[in-house]
């Protein structure tokens, strides 16, 4: 293994080579010769270590990380509590397969999920390894519990990359292109996207529009579940209009369909609450979790009303690695750390800094069409100011300019034109402000 020459790592952004540096470039060559080209690469810099909000690359450069590995490393990278828990667990028990012989960690994670997810009704959980796998299992629950088959998702939705999850995902290229056919009886209805909806459209009106499509194209009596991201992530950090989720959840209740919240990206303190559903006061029948749940290790869950979850027959759930003991130990430590450090409050604080500064940038540059989100899940939509049309090229130029200065800023959205801010919830304020300084200078240089 190639080791960096730097033994003392910087606590702030610091570039000692151009990006990517020579070691990264040689690893990129090896990558190109052996890794499938379908595996994307947003920032071509190889990372060998990390810290609170920082990434250290193989050439001795230190970057500020505004992506948290897609919203995973909320508690730190690595978080010391997670490191200790993982070390102890991996040294005593690495794997049994919970279906073969159980262990306490799995049960303890399910207890935490029951405690933290919205609602105090009796709950049950199943643990899986990835978000997409959890989405698949939520669909199993909905179909078994209702005896119906139709699953409804929103426009702009992202639910993962397995075949069923792709069927639920609303964006074709690059996710779905060439991979069909997808599982049948999956339907999309209009979402609430206030910036692009008719001006002044309320949440209630957006639900009427969605339900009209749903009842006409699918039939209310056929719907097993409506699956929503309470704050859409990959679609462009879209917060639905007030009342949209409440009304949609009510429609589900009245019509015997499960209301399923995909909180994979928005869960575990990211939005300033345990779950984005909490902001709206909604109680989903099923909550899907993954990403930040286990502090950087792969773990996912489906948590829901006991009567629905237990509609699945014994043996109907499973998987070799689901709820792996090391991942469970990491999750318990990560959740403890979220509580002890009050990361919900930290997320809100980060959100205030981000929105204040981005709003000021938007005031100076009409290309920044909207700044939106909750807590530490913020998006800035880049547009052609005259028409309001999405400007993916402009967003990409800004992201690249920041990346060249050592700020890992990624773009997202159905139209690829949203700058996405998902910093670690333990990122120091000084790093966040430094990253925003870089963005502000890039905007001044590249925008009108």
Ligand X SMILES: *Cc1c(COP(=O)(O)O)cnc(C)c1O
Binding residues for ligand X, per CB under 6 A?
A: 130-132, 135, 158-160, 229, 233-234, 262, 264-265, 290-291
In the complex with ligand X, which residue's Cβ is closer, 13 or 171? Answer: 171
Residue 423 structure tokens: 């910093």
Each residue of 388-402: b (16+ CB within 10 Å) or e?
Answer: eebbeebbebbbbbb
Closest distance to ligand X from the beta carbon of 327 (Å): 12
In the complex with ligand X, which residue's Cβ is closer, 155 or 229? Answer: 229
Select from 132, 425, 415, 436 the least CA-distant residue to 296. 425
Closest distance to ligand X from the beta carbon of 266 (Å): 7
Residue 2's Cα: distance from chain center in Å?
32
Closest distance to ligand X from the beta carbon of 265 (Å): 3
Question: H or E segment at 92?
Answer: helix 80-92
Sign, Cα dihedral of 66, 68, 74, 75? negative
Select from 64, 65, 78, 81 the least CA-distant residue to 12. 64
Closest distance to ligand X from the beta carbon of 243 (Å): 21
Beta strands in 123-175 (DSSP E): 123-128, 150-154
In the complex with ligand X, which residue's Cβ is closer, 182 or 385? Answer: 182
In the complex with ligand X, which residue's Cβ is closer, 135 or 350? Answer: 135
Closest distance to ligand X from the beta carbon of 270 (Å): 10
In the complex with ligand X, which residue's Cβ is closer, 155 or 262? Answer: 262
Residue 346 structure tokens: 């930290």
In the complex with ligand X, which residue's Cβ is closer, 123 or 270? Answer: 270
What is the rounded CA–CA span in Å between residue 123 and residue 289? Answer: 14
Question: H or E segment at 433?
Answer: helix 429-446
In the complex with ligand X, which residue's Cβ is closer, 232 or 353? Answer: 232
In the complex with ligand X, which residue's Cβ is closer, 24 or 130? Answer: 130
Residue 88 structure tokens: 């102890």
Closest distance to ligand X from the beta carbon of 290 (Å): 5
Closest distance to ligand X from the beta carbon of 135 (Å): 6
Closest distance to ligand X from the beta carbon of 264 (Å): 4
Cis peptide bond upstream of 181, omega within 30: yes
End-to-end CA distance of the chain: 46
Cα dihedral: 212, 216, 219, 220 (round 10): 10
Cβ distance 198 to 185 under 8 Å?
Answer: no
Q: List, in order, residues 6 or more apart from 432 with CB less than 8 Å away.
A: 53, 64, 350, 353, 354, 423
In the complex with ligand X, which residue's Cβ is closer, 24 or 324? Answer: 324
Closest distance to ligand X from the beta carbon of 71 (Å): 7
Cβ distance 116 to 87 under 8 Å?
Answer: no
In the complex with ligand X, which residue's Cβ is closer, 58 or 415? Answer: 415
Q: List, in order, residues 6 or more apart from 10 with CB less than 8 Å away.
A: 54, 56, 62
Cβ distance 330 to 112 under 8 Å?
Answer: no
Q: What are phi and psi of 250, to 5 degrees?
A: -60, -45
Residue showing the smallest CB distance to ligand X in the complex: 131
Cβ distance 394 to 417 under 8 Å?
Answer: yes
In the complex with ligand X, which residue's Cβ is closer, 133 or 405? Answer: 133
Select from 14, 354, 299 the least CA-distant residue to 129. 299
């Amino acid at each position: 293994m190639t080791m960096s020459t730097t033994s003392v790592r910087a606590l702030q952004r610091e570039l000692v080579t151009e990006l990517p540096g020579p070691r990264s470039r040689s690893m990129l060559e090896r990558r190109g010769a052996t890794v499938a080209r379908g595996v994307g690469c947003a920032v071509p810099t190889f990372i060998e270590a990390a810290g609170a909000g920082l990434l250290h690359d193989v050439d001795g450069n230190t970057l500020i990380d505004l992506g948290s590995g897609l919203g995973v490393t909320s508690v730190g990278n690595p978080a010391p509590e997670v490191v200790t828990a993982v070390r102890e667990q991996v040294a005593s028990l690495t794997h049994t397969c919970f279906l073969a012989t159980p262990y306490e960690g799995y049960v303890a994670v399910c207890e935490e999920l029951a405690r933290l997810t919205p609602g105090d009704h009796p709950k049950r959980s199943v643990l899986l390894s990835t978000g997409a796998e959890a989405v698949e299992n939520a669909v199993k629950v909905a179909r078994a519990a209702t005896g119906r088959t139709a699953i409804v998702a929103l426009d702009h939705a992202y639910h993962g990359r397995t075949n069923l999850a792709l069927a639920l995902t609303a964006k074709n290229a690059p996710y779905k292109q060439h991979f069909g056919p997808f599982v049948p009886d999956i339907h999309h209805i209009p979402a609430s996207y206030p910036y692009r909806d008719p001006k002044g459209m309320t949440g209630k009106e957006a639900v009427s529009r969605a339900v009209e499509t749903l009842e006409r194209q699918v039939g209310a009596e056929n719907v097993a579940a409506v699956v929503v991201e309470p704050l859409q992530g990959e679609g462009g950090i879209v917060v639905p209009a007030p009342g949209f989720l409440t009304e949609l959840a009510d429609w589900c209740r009245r019509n015997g369909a499960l209301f399923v919240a995909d909180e994979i990206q928005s869960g575990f303190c990211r939005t300033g609450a345990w779950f984005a559903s909490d902001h709206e006061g909604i109680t989903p029948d099923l909550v899907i979790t993954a990403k930040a749940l286990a502090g950087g290790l792969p773990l996912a869950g489906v948590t829901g009303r006991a009567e629905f979850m237990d509609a699945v027959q014994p043996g109907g759930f499973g998987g070799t690695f689901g709820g792996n003991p090391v991942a469970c130990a990491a999750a318990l430590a990560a959740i403890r750390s979220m509580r002890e450090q009050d990361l919900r409050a930290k997320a809100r604080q980060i959100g205030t800094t981000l929105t204040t500064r981005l709003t000021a940038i938007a005031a100076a540059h009409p290309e920044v069409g909207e700044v939106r989100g909750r807590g530490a899940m913020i998006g800035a939509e880049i547009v052609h100011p005259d028409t309001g049309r999405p400007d993916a090229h402009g967003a990409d130029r800004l992201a690249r300019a920041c990346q060249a200065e050592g700020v890992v800023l990624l773009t997202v959205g159905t139209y690829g034109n949203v700058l996405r801010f998902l910093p670690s919830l333990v990122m120091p304020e000084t790093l966040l402000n430094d990253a925003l300084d870089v963005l502000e200078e890039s905007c001044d240089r590249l925008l009108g």
